[in-house]
Structure 1
Amino acid sequence: MTTVAAPAVPPSLSLPVIEAAFPRQLHPYWPRLQENTRSWLLEKRLMPVDKVEEYADGLCYTDLMAGYYLGASDEVLQAIADYSAWFFVWDDRHDRDVVHGRTAAWRRLRFRLHAALDAPADHLRDPDPLVAGFADSVSRLFAFLPDTWNARFARHFHTVIEAYDKEFRNRVEGRIPGVDEYLALRRLTFAHWIWTDLLELGAGHELPDSVRKNPAFRRAALLSQDFAALYNDLCSLPKEIAGDEVHNLGISLITHEGLTLEEAVHELRRRVEKCITEFLAVEPDVLRLADRISDGPAVRACLANMRNWFSSVYWFHHESGRYMVDSWDDRSTPPYVSNEAAGEK
C-alpha cells in the first residue's frame, strides 16, 4: 500500500481520532488510476478538455476511491473510480440544472438514467455524454458479480435517481426539509447503499442476505456512510450557504431547530464524532460474525474498507479542490463545472 503525506486541517474541521486511529493508505494502483480516469473523462466527454487538464487531478476523485476499496483488483478499482468520477459530474449537472432552472433538461436526464440503468448496453451511444458515460460505467460494474448483485445495485440506484429528483424539486421551490426528513433523504442522495454494495465488488464476493442484513454488519456500514455524509455537510456548509442551498443538515438545523450557525456547526461535529465512536463499538461484533461464517474473509475485507472510508473521506475534504471555496472567483460557482446542459446554453 502507498502512504500519503497529510495536509493541514483547519481546527474547526479537525478530528484527531481519525488522524490517530484510522491510518490512511492508497491502493498501489492509484497513480495509474488517476491517469486512466482522467483519460476516461475526456474520452466520454464528461468534462471539457480545459477543465480536465486544469482541475481533474486536483479534485482528487480517484484518491477518494483508492483510499476506500483497498484489496480490490486493478480492473475493479478502475471501474469503481470511473463510476465515482461520473457521479461527481452528475452531481454538478444536477446542481447547474437547479441554478439555471433547467427543469425540462433535468426531467429528460432523470428518465434516461433510469432507462440506462435497466439496459446499459442499449445506451452506450446516447447523445448525452452523461447518459452514455453512465451506461459505460454501469456495464463495467455489472461484469464482476452475479446477476443478483447487479439487480440489487440497479434497485438501489433507481432510488438514488428519485432522491435527486426530490432534492431538485426542494431546491427549485426553496424548500428546506426538516431534520429527520433531510437525514432520510441524505442517505439516498449520498448513495449509502451503492458504496456499500461496491464493497462486495472490492472483496470479489457477493454476500448473502443473512450477512448484509445482520444488525452489526448493517450498522457498521451505515455508520461509515453517515460519517461521510455528515462530514461532507460540515465541510460544505460555507459553499452551500454561499450557493443558496437548501440541502445541508446545518441549514436544516438553523431553519427548523432555531440554531445559530455556530451551534449548527457544533451539532454537526457532535453527530460526526458519534458516528466514529459507534463504529468503533460495533466493529468487534462484525469481526465476531466473520469468525463464525464461511463468508468470513469477505466480511473482514468489507469491514476493513468501511474503516478505510473514514480516513479517505476525511482527507479528501482537505485535499480536493471541490471544497476550496475561498480560492474560487465566485463562491457560488465551482470553477471546474460547465454551466451548459447537453444541447442547451
Structure 2
Amino acid sequence: MHEMTQRGQLSAPAVLCPFTPRISPHADSVQRWSLHWATRHGLLDRPGARATFARARFANLMCRAHPDAGEPELRLATAWLISIFVLDDLLERALVRDPEPARAAVTEVVRLLRDRQPEPVFGTALGRPLAGALGEVWKRTEPRVSPQWRERFVGHVADYLAGTLWEAGNRAADRPPLLDEYRRMRHHSAATDMFFDLIEPMHGFELPTGLLDDPDFATARRTAGTIIGIFNDLISWPKEAAIGDHHNIVFSFQREHRLHLAEAVSAAVAEHDACVLEFQVARDRLETRWWSDPTCATGIGDLVHWIRGNVDWSMESGRYTPAEIPAPRSAGD
C-alpha cells in the first residue's frame, strides 16, 4: 500500500502499489544532460522554463522506469519523454483554439516517423525546435529497432496523437467526456503504449511474437497503462479543476454518478487498485510460461518499474504541486 504522502502542499490518496522502488544510479547525470539537451534544442526559451524543467526532474521518471538500463539508453528515453511533453503542451494549449494547426502537427509527426525523410515543410506546424528534437530522437532510435517494432511504435504514437486531438476538441467545445469514453480515450492520450514499446530498445532486444500475442501480456500492458493514468489523475485533479479541464477520471465519476468529490476520489482509487490486482494476476500467469525467456522477465519487470516509478516520481517532481504553472503531461498524465 502506498500510504498518504505529502511533499509541501502535494498529497496523494493511499493506493495499492506493492512494488519495490528502484532508481538508476545514473539519475543525476541524466538529469544534468537532459537540461543541456532541452536547452540546446530551444525547448526552454519561455521565461521560467528552465527552472520549471529542473524541478520536474523528467530524467528521474525514466531512471525509475528502467533502473537497469545504461546511461546512453536513459538519455534517449528521457529525450523522448521531453519531446512528448513539449508536443503535448503544443497540442493542449497553443493549438486548442484552432484545430487545423493541431491536425497539421499530428500529420507532421506521423510522417516523420513513417516516412523517415520529412518534406522540407516539416516543422511548420510543430515549430523548428520541437521538429528538430523529434527528428533527433527518432534518428537515434531507428538503428536499434526492426521494421516490425517501428511499425508497432508508430501505430502507438498515432493512437496517442488521436487521443490528444480528442482532448483538444473537447476543450475547445468545453465538452466533458462520458466515463466510458474517457476510459477508452485516456488509454491513448496517456501515451503509455509508446513508452512501453521503448522498453525494448532500452535493453537491446525485441519481444518475441508469441509473447506480444499472449492475452496475459496484453492484459499486463493495458492494466499497467490504466494504473499510471488513474494515479496521475488522482494527484493532478486539483490543478485541472483550477484551469477548468474536464479530463480526469475523478471528474467523470463525479458527474456521471452524482458523487461528492471525496466519493469520486474513492471510486477512482478503487478502480486503480482493481487494475493493480488484475495486473498481478496476468504477471503471475506469464511467469509460469515465459520467465525462462530473459526478454520477457525484463519486459514485464520494467512494466512493474513503470507503475512504481510513476508513483515515486510524481511525489518527488515539481510537476503536480499546486503552485506550479500548468505544464504538458507525462506518459501517464
Q: Deviations over 1:59-116 (max 9, x none)?
A: 02110110001222322221111001111122222222256x2434323322222222
1:71 aligns with 2:43: no
In the other structure, the counterpart of 1:159 is 159
Q: CA RMSD in A?
A: 2.3
Which of these residues, 309, 314, 317, is aligned with residue 311 of structure 2?
314
In the other structure, the counterpart of 2:175 is 175
CA distance in 2, matches of 1:70, 1:232: 21
Structure-to-structure mapping, 1:1-345, within 5 angstroms: 8=6, 12-15=12-15, 17-18=16-17, 21-48=18-45, 50-97=47-94, 101-122=97-118, 126=123, 128=127, 129-291=129-291, 296-325=293-322, 327-328=323-324, 333-334=325-326
CA shift at 1:254, angstroms? 1.9
Contact (CA 8 Å) 2:163, 2:189: kept in 1 or not? yes
Contact (CA 8 Å) 2:6, 2:12: kept in 1 or not? no
**Where does the alignment leave 5 or more consecutive residues of structure 2 unmatched?**
329-333
Amino acid at match of 2:57: C
Work out which structure has the larger RCO, using CA pairs closer than 8 Å and 6 or more positions apart in sequence. 2
Query: Using a 3 Å threshold, how does the CA distance of structure 1 residues 32 and 218 change in structure 2: closer, same or farther?
Result: same
CA distance in 2, matches of 1:312, 1:121: 35
Q: Deviations over 1:217-245 (max 9, x none)?
A: 22122221111001011111111111111
CA distance in 2, matches of 1:257, 1:56: 37
CA shift at 1:193, angstroms? 1.6
Identify the range of structure 1 (60-69 vs 190-199) with the bigger mean alpha-carbon deviation: 190-199
In the other structure, the counterpart of 1:342 is none
Query: Using a 3 Å threshold, how does the CA distance of structure 1 residues 261 and 206 change in structure 2: closer, same or farther?
Result: same
**Where does the alignment leave 5 or more consecutive residues of structure 1 unmatched?**
1-6, 338-345
Contact (CA 8 Å) 2:27, 2:63: kept in 1 or not? yes
CA shift at 1:123, angstroms? 6.8
CA distance in 1, matches of 2:11, 2:57: 22
CA distance in 1, matches of 2:287, 2:233: 30
Amino acid at match of 2:107: F
